[in-house]
Structure 1
Amino acid sequence: IRACTARTPRTTAATRRTQPRSPRTAAARHPGARDLADRSAVLALAGRGSEVAAACARAVVRLPVAAASSDDLLAAARTLRLVDDAPNALRALDRAVAEAAVRGDRAGLGRALAARYRALRESGDRDGALADIRVAALASAGQRLGLEVRTALATALCDDGEPAAAEALLRAARPDELAAAPAEHHLWLLGLAGARALRSDVDGALELLLESGRRQDEAGVGNPVFAPWWYAATLLLARQGRHREAAAYAERGQELAEGWPTATARGLVLAARGVVASGTRAVELLAEAGRVLAASPCRVEYARTEYLLGKALTCTGDRKAARQHLRQAAMLSACSGWCSIGELARELLEESGGRLRKPRADVLTQREREVAELVAGGASNRDVAGTLFVSPRTVELHLTNVYRKLAVDSRAELADALRASAGSAAAGAPKRTHGLAG
């Protein structure tokens, strides 16, 4: 990631290029696509009318190819992510990537890949996410990084343990860029706060999180999971033992979630309340948070909650129950590549006398399962790449991970493993929908 950012120079008069005009005429687009996308986006950011917002977004995804622009599809995808419809969100993002690539729109391609990076990262597909953000950085070669790509790259750098590089990348954003993209500005503030927190600057991180909260309130952004400053503030303060302050932000999150009752929103609220509680009450709240998040597409926060629950159980002396949840957190993290949560969970698991077990099919990420099902159905790697709008190399990478996780060596064994797991999927595996409308 650092290498990609280093190779991306600033735009100059000599390197600036005019994007090619789209070969598709405006008449080819559905006249209501923009209205549907805008309505879904407004409702989603406001944090109300989740069913209407989802219906509008799915209507955009149902439109024929070329009927919706890349920007329309990106707006729909963001709404679908916020309502926990990960499969349709990925379909919208795949189409947005393809649309921008066909038009030769490098800036649009960067935005689409950055958005798909976020969706894949959230679902636990770190390898697929990193592949997208590397391509996004390379697509920006010769021009200034877009704010969306810059923020996504900074997140990747933080995940790799390089918060100083992430902060430098974010600080390079210009005020006019932030003013022109208010929604992305909230994510920029969240990313900068995360980098500060990793550098042990708790007060600096908290200041940025509160600024994000103020800006969201002023802009009428009431969605609890779009840029969850309150959740980050709760976790940050709880780690410092400042539980009374943390509880206030957990309560704020609960207020926001009342208008947006998705599994992710409810799970984050329960987890936030759990980390500020103690004893058996903390265990009860975190256990419920884990059950709720297990039914959401948010694998990263599910793994974190399982770790926090294991830690809470250890504090109450129930080491046997703690091992179960620590093992789940370590397994999810190991299969997804999230080292920070995984290392903490493994250390506490070993201290509790436990060990990791063989991975199961339910730990496949959303994209890995899509690849696995297509391959098991007889599709070639090239066919899969065309269907998912990714490179054949990315398909090979996903398939390698699938084989490793399921301990199989061939496509025939893969099909058998998927059939065997279909009727015995672990409780809490993320819901999936088939078809564009779910």
Structure 2
Amino acid sequence: MRAHLASGRRDTAAALAAEDLARAKRWGTPRAMGAALISVGLTSDDEAATRALRKAVEYLTESVARLPHAEALLELGACLRRRGQADRAIPHLRQAVELSARCESKPLIRRAADGLRACEPASARGTVHGLTKQETRVAGMAAQGLTNRQIAEALFLTRRTVELHLSGAYRKLGIAGRADLAGALRRHQDQFSA
């Protein structure tokens, strides 16, 4: 199915995904249903994809299959972001980073982290308010609720490096810590976009 999708044969991929779903319904396990629904989500338009991926997450939450669960969360977050719902995408992408890290899947960690960065406002991605690009990335991810460990894994940094970037961001933003980070980034973004 994915090979057909990658080569632009979306109709063929959608037919195969529908067949997978029919087989998964007969099999009836959460893992089979979740995997088939991911395929349906990848081959559907955005609205149908969102429904299928939400169902995939539901099924895989009940399963011990953590890697497919992480993939379902990642694809749901990506779909929501494409639909202009970045705020709704962030929790799914954050959980995808966490599960991918537990599974030690660097490709999924990277894709989920890229998705989280894409959810940041455009002005937060540059070097606004005196922060370096890396400080902005780390601060943005921390403001979205990721722990230092999750940020380190997503960006392939050490925890100490994450701590140093956060310290620099706090100092430059004039705040005491993580609790003030989201508000400070929003205020500075508003200042620079005005």
TM over 0.5: yes
Cα deviation for residue 267 of structure 1 reads 1.0
**CA separation in 1, counterparts of 2:34 and 2:45?**
18
Q: Which amino acid letter does the alignment assign opposite residue 308 of structure 1? A: E
**CA separation in 1, counterparts of 2:53 and 2:35?**
10
Cα deviation for residue 265 of structure 1 reads 1.1
**CA separation in 1, counterparts of 2:78 and 2:8?**
15
Q: Which amino acid letter does the alignment assign opposite residue 147 of structure 2? A: K
Which has more helix, going by share of residues?
Answer: 2
Cα deviation for residue 241 of structure 1 reads 3.4
Map 1:230-249; keep pairs closer than 5 Å. 234-249=1-16
For residue 328 of structure 1, what is the aligned residue in structure 2? 95
CA RMSD of aligned residues (A): 1.9
| 2:47 is aligned with 1:280 | yes
For residue 256 of structure 1, what is the aligned residue in structure 2? 23
**CA separation in 2, counterparts of 1:316 and 1:239?**
21
Cα deviation for residue 264 of structure 1 reads 0.7
Cα deviation for residue 322 of structure 1 reads 1.0
Cα deviation for residue 251 of structure 1 reads 1.8
For residue 75 of structure 2, what is the aligned residue in structure 1? 308
Cα deviation for residue 338 of structure 1 reads 0.6
Distance 1:325 1:241, change over 3 A: farther
Distance 1:305 1:241, change over 3 A: farther
**CA separation in 2, counterparts of 1:287 and 1:348?**
17
For residue 370 of structure 1, what is the aligned residue in structure 2? none
**CA separation in 1, counterparts of 2:109 and 2:9?**
25
For residue 102 of structure 1, what is the aligned residue in structure 2? none
Cα deviation for residue 293 of structure 1 reads 0.7
**CA separation in 2, counterparts of 1:257 and 1:335?**
26
For residue 147 of structure 2, what is the aligned residue in structure 1? 358
Cα deviation for residue 311 of structure 1 reads 0.8
**CA separation in 1, counterparts of 2:56 and 2:29?**
12
For residue 362 of structure 1, what is the aligned residue in structure 2? none
For residue 174 of structure 2, what is the aligned residue in structure 1? none
Greater relative contact order: 1 or 2 (C-alpha under 8 angstroms, separation 6 or more)?
A: 1
Distance 1:288 1:258, change over 3 A: closer
SS in 2 for 1:317: coil
Q: Which amino acid letter does the alignment assign opposite residue 338 of structure 1? A: S
Moved over 4 A (4+): none
Cα deviation for residue 320 of structure 1 reads 0.5
For residue 107 of structure 2, what is the aligned residue in structure 1? 340
Paired residues in the alignment total: 127
For residue 132 of structure 2, what is the aligned residue in structure 1? none
Instruction: Please say which structure displays the higher CA radius of gyration.
Output: 1
Map 1:131-210; keep pairs closer than 5 Å. none
Match of 1:349 among 116, 119, 126: 116
**CA separation in 1, counterparts of 2:108 and 2:65?**
14
**CA separation in 1, counterparts of 2:46 and 2:27?**
29
**CA separation in 2, counterparts of 1:294 and 1:239?**
27
Q: Which amino acid letter does the alignment assign opposite residue 80 of structure 2? A: L
SS in 1 for 2:27: coil
SS in 2 for 1:340: helix
Q: Which amino acid letter does the alignment assign opposite residue 113 of structure 2? A: R
**CA separation in 1, counterparts of 2:3 and 2:106?**
19
**CA separation in 1, counterparts of 2:18 and 2:45?**
16
Map 1:381-400; keep pairs closer than 5 Å. none
**CA separation in 2, counterparts of 1:343 and 1:301?**
16
Question: Structure 2 stretches of 5 or more lacking a match?
Answer: 121-139, 149-194
SS in 2 for 1:259: helix
Q: Which amino acid letter does the alignment assign opposite residue 247 of structure 1? A: A
Q: Which amino acid letter does the alignment assign opposite residue 280 of structure 1? A: E
**CA separation in 1, counterparts of 2:7 and 2:70?**
21
SS in 2 for 1:333: helix
Cα deviation for residue 299 of structure 1 reads 0.5
Cα deviation for residue 335 of structure 1 reads 2.5
SS in 2 for 1:258: helix
Question: Structure 1 stretches of 5 or more lacking a match?
Answer: 1-233, 360-438
Match of 1:293 among 49, 54, 60: 60
SS in 1 for 2:146: coil
Map 1:28-47; keep pairs closer than 5 Å. none
